[in-house]
Chain A
Amino acid sequence: MLYFVSAELALGYWLFAFLSALGALQWVAARYCLGGLSFFDQSRWPQSRHWAYFFSVLLVVGSAAGFFGTQWEAIFAPGPAGSELAVLFATSAVCALVVTVVVAALLQRRRQAYTALDVGTGGEPVAVGHATGYVYAPAGFTTLAPAVCLLPAYPIHGTGRDKPSQAHNGPGSTAAGGWVHSMIPLAHRLVEEGVVVLLIHLDEQSYAYPASLAILPAAVAVLSKRPEVDAGRIGVMGEDLGGDLVIRAASTAKEIKAVVALAPILSDVPAGLDLLREMSYFRALRWARDRKRANLPRELNAAEYGLKISPRPVLLVYGEHDRLGGDPWKLLRLPHPREDGAFVPEEAASTPAVGVEVRVIPGVGHFRLAENPLAWQTIHDWLKEHL
Protein backbone atom coordinates (compact mmCIF):
# COMPACT_ATOMS: atom_id res chain seq x y z
CA MET A 1 0.00 0.00 0.00
CA LEU A 2 1.35 3.40 -0.98
CA TYR A 3 1.73 6.02 1.74
CA PHE A 4 2.77 9.50 0.61
CA VAL A 5 3.08 11.02 4.14
CA SER A 6 2.58 14.60 2.98
CA ALA A 7 0.10 15.31 0.18
CA GLU A 8 1.63 18.75 -0.43
CA LEU A 9 5.14 17.34 -0.76
CA ALA A 10 3.92 14.51 -2.99
CA LEU A 11 2.03 16.91 -5.26
CA GLY A 12 4.99 19.28 -5.34
CA TYR A 13 7.29 16.46 -6.38
CA TRP A 14 4.79 15.26 -8.99
CA LEU A 15 4.71 18.73 -10.55
CA PHE A 16 8.51 18.99 -10.47
CA ALA A 17 8.86 15.57 -12.12
CA PHE A 18 6.15 16.41 -14.68
CA LEU A 19 7.79 19.68 -15.75
CA SER A 20 11.25 18.06 -15.77
CA ALA A 21 9.98 15.24 -17.98
CA LEU A 22 8.34 17.82 -20.24
CA GLY A 23 11.69 19.64 -20.45
CA ALA A 24 13.56 16.41 -21.16
CA LEU A 25 11.14 15.59 -23.99
CA GLN A 26 11.61 19.05 -25.50
CA TRP A 27 15.38 18.67 -25.34
CA VAL A 28 15.24 15.24 -27.01
CA ALA A 29 12.79 16.54 -29.64
CA ALA A 30 15.20 19.37 -30.48
CA ARG A 31 18.30 17.16 -30.42
CA TYR A 32 16.85 14.42 -32.63
CA CYS A 33 14.49 16.55 -34.76
CA LEU A 34 11.30 14.89 -33.52
CA GLY A 35 8.79 17.45 -34.76
CA GLY A 36 5.88 15.40 -33.42
CA LEU A 37 7.17 15.98 -29.89
CA SER A 38 8.41 19.54 -30.28
CA PHE A 39 6.56 22.70 -29.32
CA PHE A 40 8.79 24.63 -31.72
CA ASP A 41 8.60 24.99 -35.49
CA GLN A 42 11.08 22.59 -37.06
CA SER A 43 10.96 24.39 -40.37
CA ARG A 44 12.66 27.30 -38.60
CA TRP A 45 15.63 25.31 -37.30
CA PRO A 46 18.29 26.22 -36.25
CA GLN A 47 16.91 29.46 -34.75
CA SER A 48 13.94 27.80 -33.09
CA ARG A 49 16.16 24.89 -32.04
CA HIS A 50 18.13 27.22 -29.76
CA TRP A 51 14.84 28.33 -28.24
CA ALA A 52 13.81 24.71 -27.79
CA TYR A 53 17.02 23.95 -25.86
CA PHE A 54 16.57 27.09 -23.78
CA PHE A 55 12.94 26.23 -23.06
CA SER A 56 13.78 22.68 -22.01
CA VAL A 57 16.54 23.83 -19.64
CA LEU A 58 14.21 26.50 -18.28
CA LEU A 59 11.54 23.90 -17.55
CA VAL A 60 13.93 21.59 -15.69
CA VAL A 61 15.80 24.29 -13.76
CA GLY A 62 12.66 26.34 -13.11
CA SER A 63 10.65 23.40 -11.80
CA ALA A 64 13.59 22.29 -9.62
CA ALA A 65 13.95 25.82 -8.21
CA GLY A 66 10.21 25.98 -7.55
CA PHE A 67 10.08 22.59 -5.85
CA PHE A 68 13.19 22.97 -3.69
CA GLY A 69 12.36 26.60 -2.94
CA THR A 70 8.91 25.82 -1.62
CA GLN A 71 9.55 22.40 -0.06
CA TRP A 72 13.08 22.88 1.32
CA GLU A 73 12.11 22.14 4.92
CA ALA A 74 9.66 19.36 4.04
CA ILE A 75 12.19 17.34 2.06
CA PHE A 76 14.34 16.94 5.17
CA ALA A 77 11.52 15.27 7.06
CA PRO A 78 10.34 11.71 6.35
CA GLY A 79 8.31 11.74 3.14
CA PRO A 80 7.35 9.39 0.31
CA ALA A 81 9.61 6.33 0.14
CA GLY A 82 11.21 4.82 -2.96
CA SER A 83 8.12 3.00 -4.24
CA GLU A 84 5.93 6.10 -3.81
CA LEU A 85 8.52 8.25 -5.59
CA ALA A 86 8.65 5.70 -8.41
CA VAL A 87 4.87 5.89 -8.80
CA LEU A 88 4.92 9.70 -8.71
CA PHE A 89 7.67 9.88 -11.35
CA ALA A 90 6.07 7.23 -13.59
CA THR A 91 2.66 8.96 -13.61
CA SER A 92 4.20 12.39 -14.14
CA ALA A 93 6.32 11.06 -17.04
CA VAL A 94 3.29 9.48 -18.73
CA CYS A 95 1.31 12.71 -18.29
CA ALA A 96 4.23 14.74 -19.66
CA LEU A 97 4.33 12.49 -22.74
CA VAL A 98 0.58 12.83 -23.32
CA VAL A 99 0.69 16.61 -22.89
CA THR A 100 3.72 16.85 -25.20
CA VAL A 101 2.05 14.82 -27.94
CA VAL A 102 -1.24 16.74 -27.76
CA VAL A 103 0.28 20.24 -27.50
CA ALA A 104 2.81 19.53 -30.28
CA ALA A 105 -0.03 18.28 -32.53
CA LEU A 106 -2.15 21.37 -31.85
CA LEU A 107 0.77 23.71 -32.50
CA GLN A 108 1.71 21.87 -35.70
CA ARG A 109 -1.88 22.07 -36.91
CA ARG A 110 -1.90 25.83 -36.34
CA ARG A 111 1.36 26.25 -38.22
CA GLN A 112 0.29 24.21 -41.26
CA ALA A 113 -1.01 26.48 -43.95
CA TYR A 114 -0.86 25.99 -47.64
CA THR A 115 0.36 28.85 -49.77
CA ALA A 116 -2.04 29.31 -52.61
CA LEU A 117 -0.35 30.58 -55.75
CA ASP A 118 -2.04 32.11 -58.73
CA VAL A 119 -0.41 31.62 -62.12
CA GLY A 120 -3.02 33.72 -63.79
CA THR A 121 -4.35 31.08 -66.16
CA GLY A 122 -7.13 28.59 -65.60
CA GLY A 123 -6.29 24.93 -65.93
CA GLU A 124 -7.86 22.83 -68.60
CA PRO A 125 -9.44 19.72 -67.14
CA VAL A 126 -8.48 16.49 -68.85
CA ALA A 127 -9.24 12.84 -68.20
CA VAL A 128 -6.05 10.86 -67.48
CA GLY A 129 -7.03 7.21 -67.36
CA HIS A 130 -9.20 6.78 -64.31
CA ALA A 131 -7.78 9.94 -62.72
CA THR A 132 -8.34 13.63 -63.33
CA GLY A 133 -5.76 16.15 -64.47
CA TYR A 134 -5.40 19.83 -65.33
CA VAL A 135 -3.13 21.17 -68.02
CA TYR A 136 -1.45 24.54 -67.52
CA ALA A 137 0.38 26.13 -70.40
CA PRO A 138 2.67 29.15 -70.27
CA ALA A 139 0.98 32.27 -71.58
CA GLY A 140 1.82 33.34 -75.14
CA PHE A 141 4.03 30.48 -76.32
CA THR A 142 5.52 30.70 -79.78
CA THR A 143 7.58 27.51 -79.97
CA LEU A 144 6.87 23.98 -78.86
CA ALA A 145 7.43 23.68 -75.14
CA PRO A 146 8.66 20.82 -72.99
CA ALA A 147 6.05 19.29 -70.73
CA VAL A 148 6.12 17.72 -67.31
CA CYS A 149 3.50 15.57 -65.69
CA LEU A 150 3.30 16.01 -61.91
CA LEU A 151 2.11 13.30 -59.54
CA PRO A 152 1.26 14.33 -55.99
CA ALA A 153 2.23 12.74 -52.73
CA TYR A 154 0.04 9.95 -51.45
CA PRO A 155 -2.66 11.63 -49.34
CA ILE A 156 -2.87 11.36 -45.58
CA HIS A 157 -6.34 11.20 -44.10
CA GLY A 158 -7.58 14.37 -42.48
CA THR A 159 -4.51 16.50 -43.16
CA GLY A 160 -5.94 18.86 -45.73
CA ARG A 161 -3.26 17.90 -48.24
CA ASP A 162 -4.59 17.06 -51.69
CA LYS A 163 -8.09 17.86 -50.53
CA PRO A 164 -10.69 20.06 -52.17
CA SER A 165 -10.01 23.74 -51.74
CA GLN A 166 -12.08 26.85 -52.25
CA ALA A 167 -9.14 29.12 -52.00
CA HIS A 168 -7.39 29.98 -55.21
CA ASN A 169 -6.92 29.77 -58.97
CA GLY A 170 -4.03 28.39 -60.98
CA PRO A 171 -2.36 24.96 -60.78
CA GLY A 172 -4.19 22.85 -58.29
CA SER A 173 -7.45 24.66 -58.46
CA THR A 174 -10.53 24.67 -60.59
CA ALA A 175 -13.21 27.27 -61.05
CA ALA A 176 -15.60 25.09 -59.08
CA GLY A 177 -13.39 24.89 -56.03
CA GLY A 178 -10.93 22.23 -57.19
CA TRP A 179 -8.36 20.60 -54.97
CA VAL A 180 -5.06 21.39 -53.37
CA HIS A 181 -2.06 19.66 -54.88
CA SER A 182 1.13 19.10 -52.92
CA MET A 183 3.25 20.33 -55.84
CA ILE A 184 1.47 23.59 -56.60
CA PRO A 185 4.44 25.91 -55.90
CA LEU A 186 6.70 23.78 -58.08
CA ALA A 187 4.13 23.73 -60.88
CA HIS A 188 3.83 27.49 -60.63
CA ARG A 189 7.57 27.83 -61.06
CA LEU A 190 7.67 25.44 -64.05
CA VAL A 191 4.86 27.26 -65.86
CA GLU A 192 6.72 30.54 -65.31
CA GLU A 193 9.82 28.96 -66.89
CA GLY A 194 7.88 27.99 -70.02
CA VAL A 195 7.06 24.36 -69.25
CA VAL A 196 3.63 22.90 -69.89
CA VAL A 197 2.42 21.23 -66.70
CA LEU A 198 -0.10 18.47 -66.30
CA LEU A 199 -1.14 18.22 -62.67
CA ILE A 200 -2.70 14.89 -61.89
CA HIS A 201 -5.00 14.51 -58.96
CA LEU A 202 -4.60 11.13 -57.37
CA ASP A 203 -6.61 10.11 -54.35
CA GLU A 204 -6.28 6.87 -52.42
CA GLN A 205 -8.54 5.04 -54.89
CA SER A 206 -6.61 6.13 -57.99
CA TYR A 207 -3.34 5.17 -56.27
CA ALA A 208 -4.49 1.53 -56.21
CA TYR A 209 -2.02 -0.97 -57.64
CA PRO A 210 -1.78 -2.05 -60.47
CA ALA A 211 -4.39 0.35 -61.94
CA SER A 212 -2.18 3.33 -61.07
CA LEU A 213 0.51 2.08 -63.49
CA ALA A 214 -1.75 3.08 -66.40
CA ILE A 215 -1.96 6.72 -65.35
CA LEU A 216 1.43 7.96 -66.54
CA PRO A 217 1.26 6.44 -70.04
CA ALA A 218 -2.20 8.00 -70.33
CA ALA A 219 -0.82 11.35 -69.12
CA VAL A 220 2.03 11.22 -71.65
CA ALA A 221 -0.49 10.44 -74.38
CA VAL A 222 -2.58 13.45 -73.34
CA LEU A 223 0.45 15.76 -73.36
CA SER A 224 1.93 14.53 -76.63
CA LYS A 225 -1.34 15.27 -78.45
CA ARG A 226 -1.36 18.91 -77.34
CA PRO A 227 -0.34 21.46 -79.97
CA GLU A 228 1.92 23.48 -77.65
CA VAL A 229 3.88 20.45 -76.42
CA ASP A 230 7.07 19.06 -77.93
CA ALA A 231 6.25 15.33 -77.79
CA GLY A 232 9.94 14.43 -77.67
CA ARG A 233 10.49 16.43 -74.48
CA ILE A 234 8.06 15.02 -71.96
CA GLY A 235 9.22 14.40 -68.42
CA VAL A 236 7.51 13.08 -65.32
CA MET A 237 7.85 14.09 -61.74
CA GLY A 238 6.36 12.61 -58.58
CA GLU A 239 6.52 13.28 -54.88
CA ASP A 240 6.59 10.67 -52.11
CA LEU A 241 4.82 7.53 -53.44
CA GLY A 242 4.18 9.57 -56.59
CA GLY A 243 7.97 9.39 -57.00
CA ASP A 244 7.87 5.61 -56.76
CA LEU A 245 5.07 5.55 -59.30
CA VAL A 246 6.92 7.71 -61.85
CA ILE A 247 10.04 5.56 -61.53
CA ARG A 248 8.09 2.36 -62.02
CA ALA A 249 5.99 3.72 -64.90
CA ALA A 250 8.98 5.30 -66.66
CA SER A 251 10.83 1.98 -66.66
CA THR A 252 8.40 0.73 -69.30
CA ALA A 253 7.10 3.96 -70.92
CA LYS A 254 9.98 4.73 -73.32
CA GLU A 255 8.44 8.00 -74.51
CA ILE A 256 9.27 9.58 -71.15
CA LYS A 257 12.45 11.59 -71.61
CA ALA A 258 13.40 12.39 -68.02
CA VAL A 259 12.28 11.33 -64.55
CA VAL A 260 12.34 13.36 -61.34
CA ALA A 261 11.36 11.73 -58.06
CA LEU A 262 11.00 13.91 -54.98
CA ALA A 263 11.58 11.91 -51.81
CA PRO A 264 10.42 8.56 -53.21
CA ILE A 265 9.85 5.91 -50.58
CA LEU A 266 11.70 3.11 -52.50
CA SER A 267 11.69 0.65 -49.62
CA ASP A 268 9.53 -0.19 -46.64
CA VAL A 269 7.75 2.69 -44.96
CA PRO A 270 9.51 3.45 -41.68
CA ALA A 271 7.71 2.89 -38.40
CA GLY A 272 7.93 4.09 -34.83
CA LEU A 273 9.35 7.36 -33.61
CA ASP A 274 10.92 8.13 -37.01
CA LEU A 275 7.43 9.05 -38.18
CA LEU A 276 7.32 11.80 -35.56
CA ARG A 277 10.21 13.64 -37.18
CA GLU A 278 7.85 15.52 -39.48
CA MET A 279 4.36 14.57 -38.38
CA SER A 280 2.29 15.03 -35.29
CA TYR A 281 1.59 11.86 -33.33
CA PHE A 282 -2.00 11.58 -34.56
CA ARG A 283 -1.12 12.25 -38.17
CA ALA A 284 1.71 9.73 -37.94
CA LEU A 285 -0.69 7.15 -36.52
CA ARG A 286 -2.94 7.58 -39.57
CA TRP A 287 0.15 7.28 -41.80
CA ALA A 288 1.34 4.11 -40.04
CA ARG A 289 -2.06 2.41 -40.05
CA ASP A 290 -2.69 2.97 -43.77
CA ARG A 291 -2.16 -0.53 -45.15
CA LYS A 292 -2.38 0.60 -48.77
CA ARG A 293 0.46 3.07 -48.18
CA ALA A 294 2.50 0.36 -46.52
CA ASN A 295 1.98 -2.08 -49.40
CA LEU A 296 2.47 0.31 -52.32
CA PRO A 297 6.29 0.68 -52.10
CA ARG A 298 6.65 -3.11 -52.22
CA GLU A 299 4.15 -3.41 -55.06
CA LEU A 300 5.70 -0.61 -57.11
CA ASN A 301 9.22 -1.86 -56.30
CA ALA A 302 10.79 1.35 -57.61
CA ALA A 303 14.23 0.46 -56.27
CA GLU A 304 14.30 -2.55 -58.58
CA TYR A 305 12.86 -0.80 -61.63
CA GLY A 306 14.87 2.42 -61.27
CA LEU A 307 17.94 1.17 -63.09
CA LYS A 308 15.83 -0.08 -66.03
CA ILE A 309 15.13 3.56 -66.94
CA SER A 310 18.76 3.94 -68.01
CA PRO A 311 20.06 5.48 -70.30
CA ARG A 312 17.28 8.03 -69.76
CA PRO A 313 18.22 10.29 -66.87
CA VAL A 314 16.69 10.04 -63.41
CA LEU A 315 16.95 12.65 -60.67
CA LEU A 316 16.24 11.71 -57.06
CA VAL A 317 15.79 14.69 -54.76
CA TYR A 318 15.73 14.26 -50.99
CA GLY A 319 15.56 16.59 -48.06
CA GLU A 320 18.50 16.46 -45.70
CA HIS A 321 16.25 15.60 -42.74
CA ASP A 322 14.05 13.13 -44.61
CA ARG A 323 13.68 9.85 -42.70
CA LEU A 324 10.42 8.82 -44.38
CA GLY A 325 11.75 8.58 -47.89
CA GLY A 326 13.75 5.53 -48.87
CA ASP A 327 17.42 4.98 -49.27
CA PRO A 328 18.53 6.24 -52.72
CA TRP A 329 21.71 4.23 -52.41
CA LYS A 330 19.57 1.10 -52.44
CA LEU A 331 18.38 2.03 -55.90
CA LEU A 332 21.96 2.73 -56.93
CA ARG A 333 23.04 -0.67 -55.52
CA LEU A 334 25.48 1.11 -53.24
CA PRO A 335 25.88 0.81 -49.48
CA HIS A 336 24.61 3.81 -47.56
CA PRO A 337 27.63 6.01 -46.86
CA ARG A 338 26.57 6.77 -43.30
CA GLU A 339 25.68 4.41 -40.48
CA ASP A 340 23.07 6.76 -39.00
CA GLY A 341 21.22 6.96 -42.32
CA ALA A 342 21.71 10.71 -42.62
CA PHE A 343 21.99 12.41 -45.99
CA VAL A 344 25.07 14.47 -46.66
CA PRO A 345 24.88 16.64 -49.78
CA GLU A 346 28.59 16.28 -50.61
CA GLU A 347 28.42 12.48 -50.39
CA ALA A 348 25.30 12.37 -52.54
CA ALA A 349 26.92 14.60 -55.15
CA SER A 350 29.96 12.33 -55.34
CA THR A 351 27.87 9.20 -55.90
CA PRO A 352 29.04 7.41 -59.07
CA ALA A 353 26.70 8.17 -61.95
CA VAL A 354 24.67 5.30 -63.40
CA GLY A 355 22.11 7.51 -65.04
CA VAL A 356 20.64 8.24 -61.62
CA GLU A 357 21.56 11.45 -59.84
CA VAL A 358 20.89 12.05 -56.18
CA ARG A 359 20.57 15.59 -54.89
CA VAL A 360 20.07 16.43 -51.26
CA ILE A 361 18.46 19.72 -50.28
CA PRO A 362 19.87 21.00 -46.99
CA GLY A 363 17.56 21.90 -44.12
CA VAL A 364 14.43 20.23 -45.53
CA GLY A 365 12.51 17.11 -44.60
CA HIS A 366 10.13 14.87 -46.49
CA PHE A 367 7.00 16.99 -46.65
CA ARG A 368 8.21 20.47 -47.43
CA LEU A 369 10.56 19.43 -50.21
CA ALA A 370 8.23 20.36 -53.07
CA GLU A 371 7.83 23.82 -51.56
CA ASN A 372 11.53 24.53 -51.18
CA PRO A 373 12.99 27.19 -53.55
CA LEU A 374 16.39 25.45 -53.62
CA ALA A 375 14.66 22.22 -54.68
CA TRP A 376 12.80 24.15 -57.38
CA GLN A 377 16.08 25.60 -58.64
CA THR A 378 17.77 22.19 -58.61
CA ILE A 379 14.89 20.58 -60.52
CA HIS A 380 14.61 23.46 -62.95
CA ASP A 381 18.34 23.40 -63.78
CA TRP A 382 18.31 19.64 -64.15
CA LEU A 383 15.23 19.65 -66.40
CA LYS A 384 16.75 22.40 -68.52
CA GLU A 385 19.76 20.19 -69.09
CA HIS A 386 17.96 16.89 -69.61
CA LEU A 387 14.60 17.78 -71.12
Chain B
Amino acid sequence: MGMDWALFQMANGLAGRSPILDAIIRWLMNDYALSTVLVLVPFALWFSGHSAAERERYQRAVFSTVTALVLANLFVKALNLVYWRWRPFTFHEVTLLFYHPSDSSFPSNAATVGFCIATSIWLFDRKVGAILYVVAALFGLSRIIGGVHYPTDILGGLVIGSVAAYWVSRKMPFLDRLWTRLIMWMRGLLLA
Protein backbone atom coordinates (compact mmCIF):
# COMPACT_ATOMS: atom_id res chain seq x y z
CA MET B 1 0.00 0.00 0.00
CA GLY B 2 2.87 2.33 0.88
CA MET B 3 4.58 1.65 -2.42
CA ASP B 4 1.27 2.12 -4.23
CA TRP B 5 0.74 5.52 -2.60
CA ALA B 6 4.35 6.58 -3.25
CA LEU B 7 4.06 5.69 -6.93
CA PHE B 8 0.71 7.49 -7.12
CA GLN B 9 2.20 10.62 -5.60
CA MET B 10 5.12 10.49 -8.01
CA ALA B 11 2.80 10.24 -11.02
CA ASN B 12 0.18 12.69 -9.76
CA GLY B 13 3.00 15.12 -8.99
CA LEU B 14 3.27 15.68 -12.77
CA ALA B 15 -0.26 17.10 -12.86
CA GLY B 16 -0.87 20.81 -12.41
CA ARG B 17 2.67 21.85 -13.40
CA SER B 18 2.18 22.69 -17.04
CA PRO B 19 -1.09 23.60 -18.80
CA ILE B 20 0.09 21.82 -21.94
CA LEU B 21 0.93 18.61 -20.11
CA ASP B 22 -2.38 18.82 -18.23
CA ALA B 23 -4.27 19.23 -21.51
CA ILE B 24 -2.47 16.20 -22.98
CA ILE B 25 -3.19 14.10 -19.88
CA ARG B 26 -6.83 15.19 -19.86
CA TRP B 27 -7.12 14.27 -23.53
CA LEU B 28 -5.58 10.86 -22.87
CA MET B 29 -7.54 10.02 -19.72
CA ASN B 30 -11.07 11.00 -20.76
CA ASP B 31 -13.68 8.36 -21.55
CA TYR B 32 -13.95 9.16 -25.25
CA ALA B 33 -10.55 9.49 -26.95
CA LEU B 34 -8.42 6.39 -26.35
CA SER B 35 -11.43 4.19 -25.68
CA THR B 36 -12.62 5.00 -29.23
CA VAL B 37 -9.17 4.17 -30.61
CA LEU B 38 -9.26 0.87 -28.71
CA VAL B 39 -12.58 -0.19 -30.27
CA LEU B 40 -11.96 1.35 -33.68
CA VAL B 41 -8.93 -0.88 -34.28
CA PRO B 42 -10.83 -4.21 -33.87
CA PHE B 43 -13.65 -2.75 -35.99
CA ALA B 44 -11.18 -2.03 -38.81
CA LEU B 45 -9.46 -5.39 -38.27
CA TRP B 46 -12.70 -7.20 -39.06
CA PHE B 47 -12.43 -6.08 -42.69
CA SER B 48 -8.63 -6.40 -42.90
CA GLY B 49 -6.49 -9.09 -44.49
CA HIS B 50 -5.01 -9.80 -47.89
CA SER B 51 -6.47 -13.29 -48.02
CA ALA B 52 -9.56 -15.03 -46.68
CA ALA B 53 -7.40 -16.96 -44.20
CA GLU B 54 -5.76 -13.82 -42.84
CA ARG B 55 -9.13 -12.09 -42.58
CA GLU B 56 -10.64 -15.05 -40.74
CA ARG B 57 -7.81 -14.87 -38.19
CA TYR B 58 -8.62 -11.20 -37.53
CA GLN B 59 -12.33 -11.95 -37.31
CA ARG B 60 -11.69 -14.64 -34.72
CA ALA B 61 -9.64 -12.04 -32.84
CA VAL B 62 -12.61 -9.65 -32.90
CA PHE B 63 -15.04 -12.29 -31.63
CA SER B 64 -12.54 -13.25 -28.98
CA THR B 65 -12.16 -9.59 -27.96
CA VAL B 66 -15.89 -9.02 -27.58
CA THR B 67 -16.34 -12.20 -25.52
CA ALA B 68 -13.35 -11.39 -23.33
CA LEU B 69 -14.70 -7.87 -22.74
CA VAL B 70 -18.03 -9.26 -21.59
CA LEU B 71 -16.28 -11.76 -19.30
CA ALA B 72 -13.88 -9.18 -17.85
CA ASN B 73 -16.66 -6.66 -17.19
CA LEU B 74 -18.81 -9.28 -15.50
CA PHE B 75 -15.87 -10.21 -13.29
CA VAL B 76 -15.26 -6.54 -12.38
CA LYS B 77 -18.95 -6.06 -11.51
CA ALA B 78 -18.89 -9.18 -9.32
CA LEU B 79 -15.62 -8.10 -7.68
CA ASN B 80 -17.04 -4.67 -6.88
CA LEU B 81 -19.86 -6.35 -4.98
CA VAL B 82 -17.39 -7.91 -2.53
CA TYR B 83 -14.51 -5.42 -2.60
CA TRP B 84 -14.70 -1.65 -2.69
CA ARG B 85 -11.81 0.76 -2.83
CA TRP B 86 -12.21 4.48 -2.50
CA ARG B 87 -10.70 6.77 -5.09
CA PRO B 88 -7.36 8.49 -4.28
CA PHE B 89 -9.04 11.90 -4.05
CA THR B 90 -11.58 10.70 -1.44
CA PHE B 91 -9.24 10.82 1.57
CA HIS B 92 -6.12 12.44 0.13
CA GLU B 93 -5.09 15.77 -1.22
CA VAL B 94 -4.46 15.12 -4.95
CA THR B 95 -4.26 17.19 -8.12
CA LEU B 96 -7.39 16.10 -9.94
CA LEU B 97 -7.65 16.61 -13.71
CA PHE B 98 -10.98 14.83 -14.06
CA TYR B 99 -14.45 14.73 -12.53
CA HIS B 100 -15.15 12.61 -9.42
CA PRO B 101 -15.97 9.08 -10.61
CA SER B 102 -18.33 7.39 -8.18
CA ASP B 103 -17.50 3.73 -8.78
CA SER B 104 -14.86 1.62 -7.05
CA SER B 105 -11.26 2.58 -7.72
CA PHE B 106 -10.13 -1.06 -7.94
CA PRO B 107 -9.87 -2.40 -10.56
CA SER B 108 -9.68 0.32 -13.20
CA ASN B 109 -12.44 -0.22 -15.78
CA ALA B 110 -10.42 1.70 -18.34
CA ALA B 111 -7.37 -0.51 -17.82
CA THR B 112 -9.48 -3.67 -17.80
CA VAL B 113 -11.06 -2.77 -21.14
CA GLY B 114 -7.81 -1.46 -22.67
CA PHE B 115 -5.62 -4.41 -21.73
CA CYS B 116 -8.39 -6.89 -22.52
CA ILE B 117 -8.63 -5.56 -26.09
CA ALA B 118 -4.84 -5.29 -26.44
CA THR B 119 -4.21 -8.85 -25.20
CA SER B 120 -7.03 -10.33 -27.29
CA ILE B 121 -5.62 -8.77 -30.44
CA TRP B 122 -1.98 -9.47 -29.46
CA LEU B 123 -2.76 -13.18 -29.24
CA PHE B 124 -3.70 -13.07 -32.95
CA ASP B 125 -1.46 -10.28 -34.26
CA ARG B 126 1.66 -9.25 -32.33
CA LYS B 127 2.22 -5.97 -34.18
CA VAL B 128 -1.30 -4.54 -33.84
CA GLY B 129 -1.51 -5.95 -30.31
CA ALA B 130 1.71 -4.17 -29.31
CA ILE B 131 0.30 -0.85 -30.58
CA LEU B 132 -2.87 -1.42 -28.57
CA TYR B 133 -0.78 -2.26 -25.46
CA VAL B 134 0.88 1.16 -25.80
CA VAL B 135 -2.55 2.82 -26.11
CA ALA B 136 -3.90 0.88 -23.11
CA ALA B 137 -0.77 1.72 -21.07
CA LEU B 138 -1.12 5.42 -21.90
CA PHE B 139 -4.79 5.26 -20.93
CA GLY B 140 -3.94 3.69 -17.57
CA LEU B 141 -0.93 5.91 -16.84
CA SER B 142 -2.86 9.09 -17.64
CA ARG B 143 -5.54 8.04 -15.16
CA ILE B 144 -2.93 7.76 -12.40
CA ILE B 145 -1.39 11.13 -13.30
CA GLY B 146 -4.89 12.64 -13.49
CA GLY B 147 -5.59 11.50 -9.91
CA VAL B 148 -8.44 9.02 -10.37
CA HIS B 149 -6.60 5.71 -9.89
CA TYR B 150 -3.84 4.14 -7.83
CA PRO B 151 -1.17 2.21 -9.77
CA THR B 152 -2.51 -1.08 -8.35
CA ASP B 153 -5.95 -0.26 -9.80
CA ILE B 154 -4.36 -0.17 -13.25
CA LEU B 155 -2.35 -3.31 -12.46
CA GLY B 156 -5.57 -5.05 -11.40
CA GLY B 157 -7.25 -4.01 -14.64
CA LEU B 158 -4.25 -5.28 -16.61
CA VAL B 159 -4.36 -8.67 -14.90
CA ILE B 160 -8.14 -9.10 -15.16
CA GLY B 161 -8.32 -7.89 -18.77
CA SER B 162 -5.33 -9.95 -19.91
CA VAL B 163 -6.40 -13.13 -18.11
CA ALA B 164 -9.94 -12.82 -19.52
CA ALA B 165 -8.50 -12.36 -23.03
CA TYR B 166 -6.11 -15.30 -22.63
CA TRP B 167 -8.82 -17.49 -21.12
CA VAL B 168 -11.30 -16.84 -23.93
CA SER B 169 -8.76 -17.24 -26.68
CA ARG B 170 -6.81 -20.24 -25.37
CA LYS B 171 -8.94 -22.10 -22.85
CA MET B 172 -12.34 -22.07 -24.50
CA PRO B 173 -11.87 -24.16 -27.66
CA PHE B 174 -15.61 -24.68 -28.03
CA LEU B 175 -15.90 -20.98 -28.90
CA ASP B 176 -13.77 -21.61 -31.99
CA ARG B 177 -16.54 -23.73 -33.46
CA LEU B 178 -19.05 -20.98 -32.70
CA TRP B 179 -16.80 -18.37 -34.36
CA THR B 180 -16.45 -20.60 -37.41
CA ARG B 181 -20.23 -20.85 -37.76
CA LEU B 182 -20.74 -17.15 -37.24
CA ILE B 183 -18.01 -16.27 -39.75
CA MET B 184 -19.49 -18.65 -42.32
CA TRP B 185 -22.93 -17.13 -41.78
CA MET B 186 -21.57 -13.59 -42.11
CA ARG B 187 -19.61 -14.63 -45.19
CA GLY B 188 -22.94 -15.49 -46.77
CA LEU B 189 -23.99 -11.90 -46.14
CA LEU B 190 -20.62 -10.76 -47.57
CA LEU B 191 -19.73 -9.20 -44.24
CA ALA B 192 -16.84 -11.49 -43.35
Contacts and interface: CB of A to CB of B under 8 A. Distances in A.
Contacts of B187: 271-273
A275 interface: yes
B67 interface: no
Contacts of A20: 36, 40
Contact of B99 (A78, A275, A342): A78
Given A67-B32, A89-B36, A288-B188, A25 B47 contact: yes
A210 B188 CA distance: 27
A79 interface: yes
A147 interface: no
Contact of B190 (A21, A29, A79, A284): A284
B36 A16 contact: yes
Contact residues of B: prevailing secondary structure: helix
Interface string A358-371: 00000000000000
A31 B190 contact: no
A92 B137 CA distance: 26
Contacts of A154: none
A236 B98 CA distance: 74
Interface residues of B, number: 33
A24 B54 contact: no
Contacts of A37: 47
Nearest to A24: B44
Nearest to A287: B190
B48 A17 contact: no
Interface string B33-49: 10110011001100111
B26 A31 contact: no
A44 to B, nearest CB: 21
Contacts of B52: 270, 272-274
Nearest to B113: A82
Contacts of B98: 76
Interface in A348-377: none
Interface string A18-30: 0011001101110
